Structures are given as C-alpha cells and as structure tokens.
Amino acid sequence: MVLIFGVLSVLLTAVISQSIHKPRWLPCLFVDEHVEIVEEEVLGKKMNISEPTYRHRDAGLQFGKPGDSPVHSEFITFLVTVSKMDMQRYFKDDMDTLQCEVRRLRTRGTPVRWPSLGAQEHDNWFTCTLRHTERLVITSFLRHSSNVPSVTQPGRQQWIQVADKDIISTTAVMMMFSNTPSVVVALMKEQTLNCEFAVDHKAAHLTVEWHLQRKGHRSKLFSYSSHTGQSEGSGVSVKAIAKGDASLKIPLTRETSEGTYVCSVHVPPIAGSHSMALQLMEPPRVSLNVNSQVSLSEGELQRVDCEAAGFYPLDVHMEWLKESLTPGASRVNTLGIAMLSSHRHNPDGTYSLTAYFLLKPTLQDSGYRYTCRVSHDGLQMPIRKSFTLSVTEKDSYLWYLPPFLAIIGILALLLSKHAGSKA
C-alpha cells in the first residue's frame, strides 16, 4: 500500500510539475517587411527608391528557455527567453484574450551595440505588441543575436531571413506599457494618460517626449533628456520618469484636449512609442417646457419645446413622436411639423439644441402622447420625454350671444313704445 501511494505521489508531482512548467504560447501575426530598391526617374534624374512590401505570416509567441522545442512546430516561433524584462507580469491571466503582432524594427542611424551581456552591433531587432481591445497595450523590444552579421544596403538595414517553422530565439530588453490606449472622458475633468517603460539596464541616455496630434497639427507637450537633465513642457513628473513612469496628467479636459497623444521613449539604438486616443463625451440633459399632462381647448395655440443641453460632441438626433394611447391603436408617427433651433455653443464647450413645434389641437388629438426622443453617442440608449394631451371643446357662451342681444333689442323696443304711449 505504501508503495502504491508512493507511485501515485510521484505521478501527481510529475503532472503538477509539467503543468507548472508548461510553456506559455499564444498565436501571433508576423508582419514581415521586405525592402526592394527600384530605379525611378524623378525630375529627369534616375534615383534609387526604396519600396517596402509587407507579408502577413502565421507565428506564435512562446515563453521559455533557450533551446526549448516549439509548442506548435507548424508556425514561426518567436521564443522569448528569461531576462530582467518579464513581459508576462503585465498581462498575467489575460493571455488568451490578447492580440499579438510581431514586426521587424529598424534602429536609428548606424548600428549601435545594446549595452548588455552578449549583445552585438549586428543584432536583429523585433517589436512584439500585445493588445487587449481598449484596456491595455504592451510593446516589447526583442533582441535576436545572429551568428552571421547582417548585410546592409546604402541607407537601409538588412535583416535575417525568417523561413516558415523557424525558431527565433529572442530576449526582451525594453518594454512600454499603457492601460489607457483609448480614453473617453467628460469635459472639465482631470485625466492621466498612462505610459510606463522598463529597460534591462541603467540607460546612459534616455529621451521621453509627448506629442498631441489634432486636426492635422502636431504639437510637442513635453520632452526630457536624461543626458542633459533638462525638461520642457509640463504634465509629466521627472522624478517619476526615473522609476519608469512617463504618464501625462491633463489638469482639465477642454475641446482642445481631444486628439491622439503619443508617448515616445528613446533608448539608443531603439525607440518606441504608444499612441493614445482621447475622446471627449458629454451626454445631453433633456427637458420639456410643459408638464407631463397638458390640457388645451380646441384650436388653442401652444409652443412645445424639447431642449437637449450640455452635450458634446456636436452630433445629436432629436425627433418628436405622436402615439395613440387607445387600446389596439399603438401606431407611432413622427411629427413632420417639428423644427430645430440653431446649435448654441455654451461657455464650457458643450452644445445645446431645441426641437419645437406649434401645437394647435383638434378634439381628435385628445388622448395622444407626444414624445421627444434624443439620441447621442454619449448615451447607451435614447432619452425619451413625454406628455399626454387632453383637448376640450371651445367655450360655448358665444353661441348664446345673438339670442341674448335679440332679447335685449326687443325689450328696448317695448320700453320705448311704452314710454311713447304715456306721452
């Protein structure tokens, strides 16, 4: 019995060990780039023009040790070996929900040796970007050491050839992380755009920059160089940069805050950036100028206003609907007589709009419900504001006026005759 339990214990330990050390793998898209030099005539002169072409190839990202066998041998395998940069700690258990893309990376200028053990000037570089919809984006810079130096062309960098089913052993040497790749925020609010980075060594020269791209214009918001210790602009803590946090703080969001923000980190010879889209959104407040129950006389004129106030962006859809409350008659019609005011631009940057119509009801309109329906990108579902109309007949005293006047005339005539007879 003891022997049986011992065997079971060994088997259980082996199963647990195998599950713990099972290589982590996820499917990836390798966007392979090839550059061809073609000769073209420009302004009467023959020039060599670089034309990049892209090929999408099936690949896999695998975490393990040098020499590990691929989990799926039918794909190109980018094997990320153990280093100071632990990519997995950023996404933990979200591996199955991540979108993975690997691309080749050109280093800036002439080849420069990465300052870590085993690095060479002719190393090949790749970027691996992991995305989780709008929740996070991670870019890792992978260094691949090749036994054969890269062959270069004038003005271009030449990479190693990657064949199908190849295993490319790499080391992550730098990472960039953001949990705000896309942000929707209200006006006049504080917002922080997250941009963190990590490097496997103390960089002698580190440059951090923030830019805002808005309506075709690119402006610099902040820059810092560790080489000079100088910074320009605001919104980023220089002390935090030393800890790998280059997040940008926007004090109060305004119309001019909307756009694409780009966080760039340059550690020679590699440079990376993350783009973050900031969208302003303010849902409308909807109100009517009448109560939920409206009582009018037949033919009486009443202006009915529906105001959508304080919304952003400008696009909003407003319409008036007329619905019968009689059982079996649930037909809803759009009021073609409804009109829209001009947009009003409020001091806080939001907009307001009024949809109105002139109501001159007949007795047949009594019992109908009138609804203002407002749709906007800031609303999960349209807002509806309604009132029910009650119509009464006109005051009928005017119908008695002619007989009354006739009686008065007859009495006056009789009185005058009576007065004449006495005379």
Question: pLDDT by residue (tens digit) across 263-305?
Answer: 999 998 889 999 999 999 999 999 999 999 999 999 999 999 9
pLDDT of the residue at 10: 34
Give the Cα separation of 280 and 304 in Å (integer): 31
Give the Cα separation of 287 and 22 in Å (integer): 60
Average pLDDT over residues 389-410: 70
The answer to whether residue 153 scores a pLDDT higher than 50 is: no
pTM of model > 0.85: no
Give the Cα separation of 98 and 26 in Å (integer): 8
Beta bridge partners of 40: 47
pLDDT of the residue at 148: 58
Torsion of CA 294, 300, 301, 306, to 10 degrees: 10
Q: Kindly report each contact of residues 269-273 with a partner whose C-beta sits within 8 Å and lies 24 or more positions away, as own/partner.
A: 269/107, 269/108, 269/109, 269/111, 269/112, 269/114, 270/105, 270/107, 270/108, 270/114, 270/125, 270/141, 270/173, 270/174, 271/108, 272/127, 272/139, 272/141, 272/174, 272/176, 272/197, 273/176
Band (pLDDT 50/70/90 cuts) for residue 342 is very high
CB atoms within 10 A of CB 9: 10
Cβ(370)–Cβ(319) under 8 Å? no
pLDDT of the residue at 11: 36
307: tokens are 């105001």
The pLDDT tens digits for 184-229 are 999 999 999 999 999 988 766 899 999 999 999 999 999 999 989 9
Percent of the chain with pLDDT over 90: 59
Ranking 167-176, 332-341, 347-356, 394-403 by mean pLDDT, the lowest is 394-403
249: tokens are 């703080």
What is the phi/psi pair of residue 18, to 5°? -65, -40
**8-state DSSP, 85:** -
Burial of 303 (0-12, 13-18, 19+ CB in 10 A): exposed
Contacts of 172 (CB under 8 A, 6+ apart): 80, 83, 85, 87, 140, 141, 142, 143, 200
Band (pLDDT 50/70/90 cuts) for residue 2 is very low
> Does 108 or 297 have the greater pLDDT score?
297
The answer to whether residue 111 scores a pLDDT higher than 70 is: no
Query: Which residue shows structure tokens 């579902």?
Result: 381
The pLDDT tens digits for 120-132 are 777 889 999 999 8
Average pLDDT over residues 319-332: 80
What is the DSSP pairing of strand 332-334 with strand 124-132? Answer: unpaired
The answer to whether residue 7 scores a pLDDT higher than 60 is: no
Band (pLDDT 50/70/90 cuts) for residue 40 is confident
Domains and CATH numbers, the chain: 23-173 (no CATH), 180-280 (2.60.40.10), 285-392 (2.60.40.10)
Among 57, 59, 3, 63, which Cα is nearest to 31's? 57
Beta bridge partners of 213: 218, 260
Give the Cα separation of 138 and 87 in Å (integer): 8
Cβ(332)–Cβ(321) under 8 Å? yes
The pLDDT tens digits for 362-380 are 999 999 999 999 999 999 9
pLDDT of the residue at 400: 53
pLDDT of the residue at 240: 96
